[in-house]
Structure 1
Amino acid sequence: MPSDNALDFIVVSIQNFFRDFNIRFTPITAIVTTLALLVPLLFLFILARSQQEVHLPAPAGCRRLQLEGTSNLKDQYSKAYSKGSEPSSSKPWTVKALFVYPVKSCAGIEIDKASVVRSGFQYDRQFTLAQYHTGLPDSNGKVKSEWRFITLRSFPRLAKVETQVWVPDPNAPDYDPNGEWVLSEGCLVMRFPFTPDTDFSIEGLKNYGKILAAKLAGQSEPMLEFRVPFNPTKERMQKKQYKSEKMIIWNDQPHALNMDREVSAELLDKLRYTLGVTNPLTLFRIDTTKYREAGGNAPSKQDTELEPIIGMHDAYPIHIMNIASVQDVSSRLPKGYKPLNVLRYRANVYLTGPPAFDEDDWKRAQIGNGNYHISCRTTRCKLPNVDPETAIADRNEPGTTMRKYRIIDAGSKSACLGMQVTPLAEGEIKIGDQIQVQERGEHFFIE
């Protein structure tokens, strides 16, 4: 209900309106004027309520993979993390936050513990969006068309695409071992902003209601969503006639699963419009029988219990980032720039404790009870220039600042920040795990 002060304000405003236009103020004219003001507002409110976003029902037999409570990065800008020190029993180096990114370049999911598997964190970078690229005719008049992955580097609006992973939970009241989503190891939900066209038609007014409903819910735009099986069974793939197609991701051309059989063409077109992609768009999943090889600096098969493999990662299974290092870069930005959100660097593991850039020469480390090969430094492109909160790419920063003092690897002409990591065995990493560096040495980036 409106407060007394609000009602007083409305009454005074109406009285002033009558005075300014020299209209005689009577109870009848006051009621008529008030209704004239309130009816359109009431209509807009009802319209917005009627067009509120309707979520898909929770996948049967599953629970949502997420961090319970507030983010562990809520105090990431604290100066307490900027200096670092040598590890000690009273000040150990620890895991501050953990993230998985189910779809390459889309928004991540914060978690409190992660299962470490051959390809890195379970559920991490198993999908990517790709566009169908058609080249120019060659000398024989033939045109080459191919699927190519897309990233934040070229399509900053990917930062606004939200992801959820729902995983089978035997404790769920509707759990069925033969359920649709349980058999598929859960499902992936993708949500993206889409502002529909408005006009004075019935459909246009409904669209206006959707926009208003989103604003009232604190969203910048209405959201659309779809879901796909996280790891579809062979029976499902055969029934829906999945296609295994070659897709280009950097220098690799793996055959991956085209998920367009699970998503309507209309939704994919709307997602394409949201992202600013001009070519046909689809979602690919790594074929679990055809994982890609990890980068050239990964340990050999003889040096690890696991064969180093990756899904839709750039080159290595896990990415770690020292918060002190991000704060150092942030402190050197030109005047007027806000502090850097560490999520710009899309790491899986965020650490606190080490001094800035101490990680540059790590070679092997123990995190919790697991051992990890620190394979190489992370070379940075323009991706960190995209603000994950706004999905806006800055033309220069932080790339320009990093290039001034972070081109440190003889194997690369790019600035470096963060480390690429290969697990030496399966295990688990959780919040608060301690980090112990077991070996240090030089790195040489291999393209």
Structure 2
Amino acid sequence: MSFPADFDLAGTVARLFIHPVKSCAGIEVQQALLTDTGLEWDRAWMVVDAQGAFLTQRALPRMALVRPQMTAADLVLHAPGQAPLKVPLAATGLTAAVRVWNDTVAAWDMGDAAAQWFSGFLGQPCRLVRFDPAQRRLSSLEWTGGAEAPNQFADGFPLLVASTAGLDALNAQLAAAGQGAVGMERFRPNLVLGGVEAHDEDRVDLLHIDTGAGGAVQLQPVKPCVRCPIPDIDPASAERGTQVGDALRRYRQDARMGGAITFGMNAIVRRGAGQVLCVGQPLGAHYRFG
């Protein structure tokens, strides 16, 4: 397939990330299977407290130091001072009711060994759970325009889209303030656009990606991503700072979100579930108000 010549912008898939365990470190990949709920294995597992409520770096920055590895058979988790934890990809387990934001869903408990591993590292009782694919957790219909877009344990939408140029613009702000550059991993995107202007993801309608599989993937950016303190957590040390939030406040207060700072766009899958996204694939889009 070739893209129409009249797209307002053309770029490429610059980077792809999955985050198998919600709020733990991500994995940069060269390709990923696209599903209705986002990239395969993204936010498929989650850490919960003794009451079944989800845990994140917002309260437990040490979660940034839990680094996942995917093998053919296992999710392998690494953390400082801990022996690696293997979680079989085929594991199901007993069903538990867990909460992520305002949603309560049934999930599979990954067992006592995983619970002890996380409890020891995070310093409080907690358990590892996996999303049960039989469950249906929908994105906000208000933001999707009524389209039913399922997701797993992501905050609210199947995908997060950012741009290389958007990160470059932030790092220019940081440099002007005498601060060091930061990496894209702080923003936890799934898809990073290359060859486009800074924050073009804010302005486009459907993103068309040519997978070479006989038809384009179509992703719909639907909601600006309001930023919490997580981008100010150093993923290498789990230390908190303020420089990223301070820089974003200087130029990324978003009237669409009541003046909150935003970076990246939440997106839903309109077409192409079952196709494989790869770094380097061409993409195109029309501006929403072009």
Q: What range describes the TM-score normalised by the shorter chain of this pair? A: 0.7 to 0.9
Residue 416 in 1 paired to residue 258 in 2? no
Q: Which residue identity lines up with residue 106 of structure 1 in the other structure?
A: C
Partners of 2:289 and 2:90 in 1: CA distance: 39
**CA displacement at 1:439 relative to structure 2:** 4.8
Which structure shows the higher strand fraction?
A: 2
Residue 345 in 1 paired to residue 232 in 2? no
Q: Which residue of 2 aligns with 1:370?
A: 217
Which residue of 330, 355, 380 corresponds with 2:227?
Answer: 380
Q: Which residue of 2 aligns with 1:43?
A: none
Q: Which residue identity lines up with residue 290 of structure 1 in the other structure?
A: Q
Partners of 1:265 and 1:389 in 2: CA distance: 24
Higher Rg of the two aligned structures: 1
Spell out the pairing of 1:314-325 with structure 2 (5 A cutoff): 314-325=155-166
Partners of 1:421 and 1:434 in 2: CA distance: 18
Residue 227 in 1 paired to residue 86 in 2? yes
| Percent of matched pairs sharing the same residue | 26
Q: Which residue of 2 aligns with 1:295?
A: 140
Rate the CA distance shift 1:265–1:342 in 2: closer, same or farther, 3 A.
Answer: closer
Q: Deviations over 1:377-434 (max 9, x none)?
A: 111111111121222110x221122122212233333111111111112122111111
Kept in 1: contact 2:16–2:30 (CA 8 A): yes
Partners of 1:191 and 1:357 in 2: CA distance: 33
Q: Which residue identity lines up with residue 414 of structure 1 in the other structure?
A: A
Spell out the pairing of 1:24-423 with structure 2 (5 A cutoff): 92-132=10-50, 146-167=51-72, 186-194=73-81, 223-232=82-91, 237=93, 242=94, 244-261=95-112, 263=113, 266-273=116-123, 278=124, 280-296=125-141, 297-301=143-147, 307-333=148-174, 335-368=177-210, 369-394=216-241, 396-423=242-269
Spell out the pairing of 1:417-436 with structure 2 (5 A cutoff): 417-425=263-271, 426=273, 427-436=275-284
Partners of 1:324 and 1:272 in 2: CA distance: 35
Gaps of 5+ in 1: 1-86, 133-145, 168-185, 195-222, 302-306, 443-447
Q: Deviations over 1:322-348 (max 9, x none)?
A: 111112122112633111211110101
**CA displacement at 1:264 relative to structure 2:** 5.6
Partners of 1:265 and 1:130 in 2: CA distance: 9
Gaps of 5+ in 2: 211-215
Equivalent position SS for 1:147: coil
**CA displacement at 1:116 relative to structure 2:** 0.6
Q: Which residue identity lines up with residue 352 of structure 1 in the other structure?
A: G
Partners of 1:385 and 1:191 in 2: CA distance: 22
Equivalent position SS for 1:327: helix
Instruction: Please provide the CA RMSD for this pair.
Output: 2.3
Q: Deviations over 1:148-206 (max 9, x none)?
A: 11111221111110111223xxxxxxxxxxxxxxxxxx321111112xxxxxxxxxxxx
> How many corresponding residue pairs?
276
Q: Deviations over 1:113-132 (max 9, x none)?
A: 11111110011110111112
Q: Which residue identity lines up with residue 267 of structure 1 in the other structure?
A: W
TM-score by length of 2: 0.87
Kept in 2: contact 1:327–1:340 (CA 8 A): no
